[in-house]
Amino acid sequence: MRVLGVDPGSRKTGWGVVDVAGNRVVHVDNGVLFLDDDRDLTIRLVDLAHRLNDVITTYAPDCAAVEDVFVQKGARSALILGQARGCVLTTLGLRGLSVASYSTSMVKQRVTGGGRAGKEQVAAMVSSILALPAWPFEDAADALAVAVCAALDNALPVRATSPSLPPTMALPGRKTKSRGRDALLALARKQGKVL
Distance in angstroms (rounded) separating the CA atoms of residues 187 and 151: 38
Is there a contact between 19 and 25 (Cβ–Cβ < 8 Å)?
yes
36 assigned to active site = no
Is there a contact between 48 and 35 (Cβ–Cβ < 8 Å)?
yes
Q: Cβ contacts of residue 79 below 8 Å, gap of 6+?
A: none
The active-site residue out of 36, 67, 138, 182 is: 67
- Cα–Cα distances (Å) from 20 to 1, 8, 93, 116, 148, in that order, read 5, 22, 21, 26, 9
Neighbours of 110 (CB within 10 A): 19
120 assigned to active site = no
φ and ψ at residue 119, rounded to 5 degrees: -60, -40
The active-site residue out of 139, 142, 153, 182 is: 139
φ and ψ at residue 11, rounded to 5 degrees: -110, -35
Distance in angstroms (rounded) separating the CA atoms of residues 33 and 55: 10
Polymer length of the chain: 195
47 assigned to active site = no
- Which positions are catalytic? 7, 67, 139
